[in-house]
Structure 1
């Protein structure tokens, strides 16, 4: 029940006094976004004034924006690599931060093709925890009664590595789940998980997933929301249920635990919790043994109100699959974060995925924005880019995000492209467009992730009449052929095996993709003959599961893993090619007319 109007917030009536405090904090931060940003920058520069990095650029203790912008360069990870390597090797002098670097946070193993080490300090955990604490007070404005049940969330840790200098290097979520902030979090009736800490912290991904699924099934009537970090993670959980439901129902029926679960703390927790439940076992058996898995989430967890997953950016392509498995439950995207920094939250979490906007919280870091003009020349140190402050961005324009963090990153290009959709008070709201520079290129053509996804979506429309959809895809630029050509790997889900798309339909899908690509590409195909016909290679069901398993075996985080939309690593391409069932080429040239020349 909402508290009285004394505690009311412009965002809406809070569910409890704790929520009211959180909503007031959001209002305070966003009303004064520019002054908060000014204070954040001053605090960062003041505390890090004696670091090697700031002294190198002769900031001389200045903490104002003008001095900062005139003296400190815009950088990428490559610019900072020597300093990061020194810290990793054991140099404990104040290189980037006056506070000791406590560990490194590793970026997604599939983001831009390399694992980056992001330095962090202990107090950043407090900042992350603060942002997490704002999520449920906002969600409670839109979905009442979440204190009456639990969340089934599939959360995982990755075994950390150690740098030569003895610092841990691990994904940001692993760092958080292993922290006391998470392990000893106070009880909150609005934020109770079915998954115990023992299962979340289990380093074996099979045992962790199995136990979390089992606990979710045991409390199936109490589950009010189902989630994972990324949409792909939740689909992986459904796939896991498809492969393991028989053993799970056996455990539920008999009140015993699969002998493959050997982690002592997990076994101890489950053996105390599980009791024979033939009625529940029969329900799970009945639903999972059916060929049709449409709506399986609400069939097994009937009180689920929404799915909590990231479905923005490249994750948007999972929306049809999530709709299929959930019976079109609402999809909630709650926050925007990365290894470099936690940025902000969605103040309207029940909005359509295509309309999701994140409000950047001005207390998290100092934010700057590089206007994104795809056709302009890249800025250099000799022609520095004109950056825009948080409060000065313009609605409708796209920007690349830069951060200056308490941990010592200064004017660091995150690589995310954001579009301004509006403001909450004086704080801008952004739609995540895409990661920068994820491209295919054969000649002078450049295809980014967003354009590739659009082409796949357009082509997949041809599959609808056959009740077939594209569940996963990736691509590479094959330059071994002359001329080179785009290769797109598709994994298909055919809901009616007796009515699969023909070879001709799949060839038309190739052409539909080409028609969706930019004019430079189509000119290369039609006029210049510099690009060969696009090829779609259909791979066996489960191929992309194998691809993820391979990435995880090489150190990628199960929480952060995203299917790479472009691949070039030979073992990955060999794996994909070994699973190809059929190959199809565009049967004709796409439409192209020359632009008017001056």
Structure 2
């Protein structure tokens, strides 16, 4: 047996009982969800949050819970999170907060999410069946190491004023202590890479370890564009990487800032690099031939990444570098909790029915009582409310999911977009779902049957409030202008947008050509406080300032 397969066989055995309990729970989601709600209520009992809810100690049924506890949004939790960060205890739950994780922050800076032992146990109830599914159903993955992009790149470890850590210590932080030693033996890239001070050095060191790993079997990232950017860095730094592999050193590009360079040297001192002349030669051959990255890893058998909503537009660019490698779409996993996990034979990722307590809002009738997991209807779209042992009660996640079918009696849910992504400069109320539908319908008509590699709409305040359509394409400017005019006509079908245009409050959509749109989009998102490892592509970005950013990047 290949040495790498030994810990993976052991890992599969450890995961099997949790996977069995998960599959049994799929038969009766109502009963499984009742257990989840009872567990959460126990964790919250005795906290400051419980004291604010009238009759909390008497809550027994799901209906009692829905009647007594209002929905909350991230902003509503800020005062409680500030008290926790300052050192207060028993604020949202009785349990201590182990650390804060930072949410993805799709349109700006990230928000802190408190992590407790109970919340980690709930993550484990979803992640263990997911990982078992891969190892059990795809035996080839058990024959070598894997690359899991879990941690954010270039994370900076911090502590709050009350001494609570911010961010995970390593890539296995969401798994149990039992599993971490096994996982550390199958990760192709050490967790320390995420502590490097800037994105480019993180990518370079990641690539050193990946190229050195000739028996890589699995690549798991969140966004397909993340994988495309990683492979673009391989092309950009290929010659330097080959020389470093030959010599057994690693010289990531530096920012030139003294503080960052010192941090880089400190992190690098914890890693070992040995000469890999055969891999250096293989990389040079690939660079000369212009072949696909797939040739570096002949045993690579599975790519795991987002495939739904906006991520679908970035999927072809990532997959073309890895021909004939199977792609598995990820489920819906937020920093706050897990919603769905992927199963190979299911019509869509399956509700993580043993993890948290879920409710589902009908967007067309939001005042009605939210439905429960066993009440969902096939073909319908819902917004997600999340209740977790981390202290989030009826937390509006902002994600929309569509029921694609059922695995036994449990719904299979496909992520279709964000419910709260609405831009409103002067009353036009332009939603991300509307923008995505318009771009999907119009852009292929103007650009040879496909959307440009990068396409994003964003607002600008000057010289007059309006929207700019940023496109990465070599098409003539006349075609860009025609596309912008078609998008404008489609938006004007909406009452609020058309009225704002008629009043002269809003200017017409205009198109701007960009170069390396994905890379420059990522650089600004990082500057805004997001994490490179989980930056999401968007059809509509609600923050202005992108014209200046792209023009500066081009300069």
Smaller-chain TM-score bracket: 0.7 to 0.9
> In structure 2, do the counterparts of structure 1 residues 214 and 179 end up closer, same or farther at CA, with 3 Å as the change threshold?
same
User: Any idea what the Cα deviations from partners look like across 1:62-102, whole Å, max 9, x if unmatched?
Assistant: 2322321221112212222222222222222x221011222
Residue 311 of structure 2 corresponds to which residue in structure 1? 315
> In structure 2, do the counterparts of structure 1 residues 82 and 463 end up closer, same or farther at CA, with 3 Å as the change threshold?
same
Cα deviation for residue 248 of structure 1 reads 0.5
Contact 2:71 2:394 in 1 (8 A): yes
Alignment of 1:262-281 (within 5 A): 263=265, 266-267=268-269, 269-271=271-273, 274-277=274-277, 279-281=278-280
Residue 365 of structure 1 corresponds to which residue in structure 2? 356
Alignment of 1:408-423 (within 5 A): 408-423=391-406
Residue 77 of structure 2 corresponds to which residue in structure 1? 80
Residue 106 of structure 1 corresponds to which residue in structure 2? 102
Cα deviation for residue 501 of structure 1 reads 2.0
Query: Could you tell me how far apart the structure 1 residues matched to 2:445 and 2:248 are?
Result: 48
SS class of match (1:137) = helix
Alignment of 1:272-311 (within 5 A): 274-277=274-277, 279-289=278-288, 296-311=292-307
Query: Could you tell me how far apart the structure 2 residues matched to 1:317 and 1:79 are?
Result: 33
Cα deviation for residue 213 of structure 1 reads 0.8
> In structure 2, do the counterparts of structure 1 residues 26 and 395 end up closer, same or farther at CA, with 3 Å as the change threshold?
same
Alignment of 1:53-202 (within 5 A): 53-62=49-58, 63-92=60-89, 94-109=90-105, 111-140=106-135, 142-157=137-152, 158-170=155-167, 177=172, 181=176, 185-187=180-182, 192-202=186-196
Query: Could you tell me how far apart the structure 2 residues matched to 1:386 and 1:522 are?
Result: 28
Contact 1:416 1:436 in 2 (8 A): yes
1:208 aligns with one of 182, 202, 207: 202
Contact 1:155 1:200 in 2 (8 A): no
Contact 1:313 1:433 in 2 (8 A): yes
Query: Could you tell me how far apart the structure 2 residues matched to 1:84 and 1:478 are?
Result: 33
SS class of match (1:233) = helix
The alignment's TM-score, normalised by the length of structure 1, stands at 0.79
Query: Could you tell me how far apart the structure 2 residues matched to 1:323 and 1:85 are?
Result: 42
Cα deviation for residue 25 of structure 1 reads 1.8
Contact 1:105 1:118 in 2 (8 A): yes
Cα deviation for residue 132 of structure 1 reads 2.2
Query: Could you tell me how far apart the structure 2 residues matched to 1:477 and 1:307 are?
Result: 35
Contact 1:390 1:428 in 2 (8 A): yes
Contact 2:102 2:110 in 1 (8 A): yes
Query: Could you tell me how far apart the structure 1 residues matched to 2:267 and 2:551 are?
Result: 41
> In structure 2, do the counterparts of structure 1 residues 176 and 246 end up closer, same or farther at CA, with 3 Å as the change threshold?
closer
Query: Could you tell me how far apart the structure 2 residues matched to 1:243 and 1:156 are?
Result: 23
Residue 347 of structure 1 corresponds to which residue in structure 2? 343
> In structure 2, do the counterparts of structure 1 residues 31 and 306 end up closer, same or farther at CA, with 3 Å as the change threshold?
same
Contact 1:454 1:516 in 2 (8 A): no
SS class of match (1:342) = coil
Give the superposed CA RMSD: 3.4
Length, aligned pairs only: 534
> In structure 2, do the counterparts of structure 1 residues 259 and 176 end up closer, same or farther at CA, with 3 Å as the change threshold?
closer
User: For structure 1, which segment, 54-63 or 417-426, has the greater mean C-alpha deviation from structure 2 after superposition?
Assistant: 54-63
Residue 503 of structure 1 corresponds to which residue in structure 2? 477
SS class of match (2:403) = strand
Residue 491 of structure 1 corresponds to which residue in structure 2? 472
> In structure 2, do the counterparts of structure 1 residues 52 and 284 end up closer, same or farther at CA, with 3 Å as the change threshold?
same
Contact 1:418 1:434 in 2 (8 A): yes
> In structure 2, do the counterparts of structure 1 residues 206 and 578 end up closer, same or farther at CA, with 3 Å as the change threshold?
closer
User: For structure 1, which segment, 54-63 or 429-438, has the greater mean C-alpha deviation from structure 2 after superposition?
Assistant: 54-63
Alignment of 1:553-572 (within 5 A): 553-563=527-537, 565-567=539-541, 569=543, 572=546
> In structure 2, do the counterparts of structure 1 residues 336 and 73 end up closer, same or farther at CA, with 3 Å as the change threshold?
same
Query: Could you tell me how far apart the structure 2 residues matched to 1:116 and 1:268 are?
Result: 30
SS class of match (1:44) = helix
> In structure 2, do the counterparts of structure 1 residues 120 and 280 end up closer, same or farther at CA, with 3 Å as the change threshold?
closer
> In structure 2, do the counterparts of structure 1 residues 118 and 259 end up closer, same or farther at CA, with 3 Å as the change threshold?
closer
Residue 533 of structure 1 corresponds to which residue in structure 2? 508
Query: Could you tell me how far apart the structure 1 residues matched to 2:540 and 2:376 are?
Result: 31
User: Any idea what the Cα deviations from partners look like across 1:105-135, whole Å, max 9, x if unmatched?
Assistant: 22113x2434222222123223323422222
> In structure 2, do the counterparts of structure 1 residues 579 and 522 end up closer, same or farther at CA, with 3 Å as the change threshold?
farther
SS class of match (1:508) = helix
Matched, 1:244 2:226: no
